Chains A and B, each alone.
Chain A
Amino acid sequence: MYTEKVMDHFTNPRNVGEIENANGVGEVGNAKCGDIMRIYLDVQDDIIKDVKFKTFGCGAAIATSSMVTELVMGKTLDEALKISNDAVAEALDGLPPAKMHCSNLAADALHEAIKDYISKKGK
């Protein structure tokens, strides 16, 4: 039911873990639906120098989290904000229809992390 790319990111997830002094952290989802995604950012001069994730969830949740970190590594915040959930799914050669809404939240988590960075910076 999953594409090869999904299984690749699920079995060998990129950028798993936490960033100790992250200057942006975003979390979406809740345990009730069975998916929680947390993204950690290290932003310097509006560029994402490092990004890591921790995810509780199904195969799609883990694969989309992994893919989104790969897509935004080294990108500017403006570029990162343009990445949508659908684009993440597309980069994985698609997700089963049932997973498109419940487990495809990685870009949302990324955007939350960027918002967190911007609000912290503003203070």
Chain B
Amino acid sequence: MERIYFDHSATTPVDREVAKVMLEYMTEKFGNPSSVHSFGRETRKAVEEARNSVATLLGAAANEIFFTSGGTESDNLALKGIAFANRKKGNHIITTAIEHHAILHACEYLEKQGFTVTYLPVDENAMVNVEDVKNAITDKTILISVMFANNEVGTIQPIKEIGQLAKEKKIYFHTDAVQAVGNCHIDVNELNIDVLSLSGHKIYGPKGIGAIYIRKGVKIESTQHGGSQERKLRPGTENVPGIVGLGKAAELARIELDQRISHLTNLRDKLIKGIQEKIPDIKLNGHKEIRLPGNVNISFFYVEGESLLLNLDLKGIAASSGSACTSGSLDPSHVLLAMGLTHEVAHGSLRLSLGRGNTEADINYCLEVLPQILERLRSMSPLNANSKLAANNPCSQCDHH
């Protein structure tokens, strides 16, 4: 059976060129970049070239890029590193209710350490209101952290405006751009970004590598201690194959960006339109236009996400859902709930995240099997447009969104 991958927000395949260059830096060019000899010098050179490549993708300077193990580490370093280094200035952090857990759980940790965190709400499209950010600022605010684009529903936030506001108030602005890098044009200076997190495996690079952009002059301290690598901010022998792979992936992202955006936007819009035409009782989650080029997130009423995923998987299609069964907890996605979705509508959400390898034929196949799956699952469901669940189920009282 042919397999179709629609889960690029979870991870992407490593580009063959990336894998090729990584292999070279595992087998032949294996030196420790800190070594003085020629083996060390050749890997040092490669690490610095990769740094340049990542910097170029973001419009940053090479010495503003630090390599980490991935998006989670970059987020933790940004939040904890800035919080602890600026403690004397203030103890207040502003973020949003729809951040990735790497941000939310780091914030919870900081709250235990005496910091105060404001979690801004979002509107029904998962959009943050710049006015809300403005109103949340106090004289104790040291950091604003708002994700560039949401990993579940794809909504792209007003980053430039929030950055401008932070700049005027002399507050550091961090953005988790793990989903946006390689999918959106990003220039850290134009967008007023002080700190940015990115990950290798979301942009056709390897897992276990990421980077953090830190604007020159930002006061930040390291969260791990050791040698002098990454200017002591992130000690530990460099993951050279990973770094080289990330550098290559960043280079490809820069070269292919416009092409990727137009290809994905085209497929995305075709898929959304097709589902809307073929399947009744659905809701598109996230902003209609201001969303990631490859993100489709739709709730199908009266069905549950995991059974939807299993049925798609039986047909060879890989996707993800915000239902509780797939989130690993008893509650569905915190993002969908923050947008005001009822539990049952959130349980029936399906995310199809497209990538550069997807084709029109993939979309057509999905549009052929998805309506059949929905029809079958709905015929088995006790829920329908007339179900009277309100009496024993408080969250059903507001099912008309």
List the count of A-B residue pairs having beta carbons below 8 Å apart: 78
Cβ contacts B322-356/A at 8 Å (1 or 0 each): 01110010101000000000111001000000000
B319 CB to closest chain A CB (Å) equals 15
Q: B310 and A36: CB pair below 8 A?
A: no
Using CB atoms, name the residue of chain B closest to A31: B344
Q: With A10-B307, A30-B389, A58-B325 in contact, do A36 and B382 touch (Cβ < 8 Å)?
A: yes
Q: Chain B, 383-396, contact with A by CB distance < 8 Å: what is the 0/1 string?
A: 10000010011111
List, in ascending order, chain B residues with CB within 8 A of A38's CB: 382
- List the one stretch of B79-87, B156-164, B298-306 in contact with chain A: B298-306
Q: Which residue of B lies closest to A32 (CB)?
A: B343
Tell whether, in the assembled complex, residue B304 and residue A56 are in contact, meaning their CB atoms are under 8 Å apart. yes
Please tell me if the beta carbons of A56 and B302 are within 8 angstroms of each other in the complex.
yes
Interface string of A52-80 (1 = CB under 8 A from B): 00111111011000000000000000000
CA distance A38 to B383 in the complex (A): 10
A residues in contact with B395, CB < 8 Å: 30-32
Tell me if A103 is interfacial: C-beta within 8 Å of chain B.
yes
Q: Provided the pairs A31-B393, A34-B323 are in contact, do residues A62 and B380 lie with their beta carbons within 8 angstroms?
A: yes
Report how far A31 CA is from B383 CA in the complex, Å. 9
Question: Which of B306, B330, B342, B381 is within 8 Å of A59, CB to CB?
Answer: B306
> Which B residues lie within 8 Å of A31 (CB)?
342-344, 347, 383, 389, 393, 395-396
Q: How far is the CA of A56 from the CA of B303 in the complex (A)?
A: 6
Residues of A within 8 A of B325 (CB): 34, 58-59, 99, 102-103
Chain B, interface size category, equals: 20 to 34
Q: Taking CB as reference atom, which chain A residue is nearest B343?
A: A32
Question: What is the bound-complex CA distance between A38 and B324, given in angstroms?
Answer: 20
Contacts of B311-325 to chain A: CB distance below 8 A: 314, 323-325
Alpha-carbon separation in the docked complex, A36 to B391 (Å): 14
Q: Compute how far the CA of A116 lies from the CA of B117 in the bound complex, rounded to whole angstroms.
A: 51
Confirm or deny: B35 has a beta carbon within 8 angstroms of a beta carbon on chain A: no
Q: Which residues of the partner chain B approach A16 to less than 8 Å between Cβ atoms?
A: 379-380
A35 proximal to B (CB < 8 A): yes
- Chain A residues with Cβ below 8 Å from B306 are 58-59
- Contacts A11-B314, A33-B330, A36-B383 given: A58-B323 contact, CB under 8 Å? yes
Task: Select from chain B the residue with minimum beta-carbon distance to A11.
Answer: B314
A94 contacts the other chain (CB 8 A): no
Does A42 sit at the interface, judged by CB under 8 A? no
Q: Once bound together, how far apart are the Cα atoms of A112 and B76, in whole Å?
A: 49
Q: How far is the CB of B337 from chain A (nearest CB, A)?
A: 11
* Interface residue? A27 (CB, 8 A): yes
**Chain B residues with CB below 8 A from A58, complex form:** 304-307, 323, 325
Q: A56-B302, A58-B306, A59-B306 are in contact. Are A34 and B332 (CB under 8 A)?
A: yes
A32-B393 contact given A54-B382, A98-B328, A103-B325, CB 8 Å threshold = yes
Contact sample, A vs B, 13 pairs, CB 8 Å cutoff? A7-B310, A30-B392, A31-B342, A31-B389, A31-B395, A31-B396, A32-B393, A54-B381, A54-B382, A56-B304, A58-B305, A61-B307, A62-B380
Given contacts A31-B343, A34-B332, A34-B344, 9 further A-B contacts (CB under 8 A): A30-B393, A32-B393, A33-B343, A35-B304, A56-B381, A57-B304, A59-B307, A59-B325, A103-B325
